[in-house]
Structure 1
Amino acid sequence: MEVQVRSMGGERAMRAKPRKFLVVDDHPLVRHGFALSVGEIHPDAQIIEAGSLVEALEVAARVRDLTLVLFDLSLADRQGRDGLRRMVDALAGVPLLVISGSDDVADIVDSVRMGAKGYILKTSSTAVLEHAISLALTGETFLPLPRAVLSGNVAADTARPTGQILDRLTDRQRDVFQLLLAGHSNKEIARELGVLEGTVKVHVRAIMQKLGVRNRTQVAVVAARAGCFPEEV
């Protein structure tokens, strides 16, 4: 077993019940790097490390008050979707963020469909990780900007011209749409655009209606397939 527990908060963590994060990756340096980054974001957190799906499932069964899990999509003992499905089921509602070196749109979409609250590329910055964790802890979903989408390398049978989506939206709805795809909350969008949060909610509902989707995740999926993500996270 390579399960490791790190307490990042010292005496202050002893006085209050710390958040507990599980980092699952079979590469020790990568795993430790993510653990250190989470510790920087949440200094009082208890960070548990696991090097395999078996170890991660053992932690999930033993530690009932996990706050969030970072889960490598390609573990040596269980590759891809099957391992993710088993982990999501074992967590029973604890938010999970996939960490992966793959920016394939299918991997991203399938991960979210199977219950992940986001997908973080291993090349992402600590700021992106912090934003993804923040969204996941409030029940929202974080999606990255895969290089395959930005470069236009999306399968022809799933891609639709960007114009077919953007042409349906008003200028203000396009502004909201781009910020929504970047993972911003309604409050953040309102602050960025200098409007009321209620106004943003109206625009978001209108965007969903025009795209024929029911939630923010589906908006992102449609955008990924159409190749119309913003240039930066």
Structure 2
Amino acid sequence: MNHPVGNARVPVDSAFAKAPAAAGALRVLIADDHALMRRGLALVIKLRFPGTTVIEAGSLADAVRCAQEESDLSAVLFDLRMGDTDGLPGVEAMLRVLDGVPLVVISGTLDASLISACIRAGARGFLPKGSEAEALDHALPVVLGGGIYAPLPRGAMASPSPPAPPPPGILDSLTARQREILALLLEGRSNKEIARSLGILEGTIKVHLRSVMQRLGVHNRTQLALLVSRAGPPA
């Protein structure tokens, strides 16, 4: 990343950084009111994370609608200033509908107080628009793994702390149905596809996944898939 800042990456799982597909196919929402910026980001993400589905939104209103309609989002890249939003209010409005899906703010302004405010509001990352494409190689695995990715002032030192391996038998307390759902999740299936495969309602899949995430202490389906893949697939 050729930019006069360092990068805070806390925590990051190196295996996931090298092979993000191990946590299932990604679904990334890009919200930016400049079509060329959206298309450029989409192209970079698809090249660097093969198999990723990218959804585009040109405004806060469109992004909110997409988030409400897409139940399987992995992450959101969110422009800080669009035609119908400017600054933190838009970030906060987006976070309210994301239900734990990590949001990375994209901005042409690199200001320490702005970065801090975005992270305090609940954003999981911050990417300056002047970043090199390689920044996404680091940012997405970090936020998908439950960490925070943000620029540091020149000379500052980051202290990554990889998560501890899952304890043995962490999946033993799950029901047979929950294990079936997790096995299909690891194949990259969407909630709708899992429901169709098991012959149950999509809403039931959401209830099961929410229960499992609460039990295992993760916040979204990508973190869940990563933890399960590190613990070993359910029997």
* Cross-structure match for 1:77: 84
Name the CA distance, whole Å, in 2 between partners of 1:18 and 1:132.
Answer: 17
Compare 125-134 and 89-98 and name the one that shifted more: 125-134
Tell me, what secondary structure is at the counterpart of 1:90?
helix
Structure 2 equivalent of residue 178 of structure 1: 157
Matched, 1:110 2:117: yes
Structure 2 residues not aligned, in runs of 5+: 1-22, 165-235
- How far apart are 1:31 and its partner, in Å? 1.2
Name 2:103's counterpart in structure 1.
96
Kindly state the Cα deviation for residue 17 of structure 1 after the two structures are TM-superposed.
6.7
Q: Distance in 2 between matches of 1:187 and 1:88?
A: 25
Match runs of 1:18-57 below 5 Å? 18-57=25-64
**What are the superposed Cα offsets for residues 106-134 of structure 1, whole Å, 9 maximum, x if unpaired?**
11001000110010001111221220111
Offset at residue 187 of structure 1 (A):
4.7
AA at the equivalent of 1:54: A
Inter-partner Cα distance in structure 1 for 2:107 and 2:70: 24
Counterpart for residue 200 of structure 1: none
Aligned residue identity for 1:186: S
C-alpha separation between the residues in 1 aligned to 2:158 and 2:129? 22
* Count of aligned residue pairs for this structure pair: 142
Structure 1-normalised TM-score?
A: 0.57
Alignment partner for residue 124 of structure 1, among 120, 131, 135? 131
Q: CA RMSD in A?
A: 2.2
Percent identity of paired positions between Structure 1 and Structure 2? 38
Instruction: Provide structure 1 residue ranges, at least 5 long, that are not aligned to the other structure.
Output: 1-15, 151-161, 163-176, 189-196, 198-233
Q: Report the CA distance between 1:179 and its aligned residue.
A: 3.7
State which structure, 1 or 2, has the greater radius of gyration over its C-alpha atoms: 1
Partner in structure 1 of residue 146 of structure 2: 139
Partners of 1:41 and 1:78 lie apart in 2 by 29
Partners of 1:18 and 1:58 in 2: how far apart?
Answer: 22
Match of 2:69 in 1: 62
Partner of 1:169: none
SS of alignment partner, residue 30 of structure 2: strand
Deviation of the 1:186 alpha carbon: 2.7
Query: In 1, distance between residues paired with 2:64 and 2:162?
Result: 36
TM-score, structure 2 as length reference: 0.57
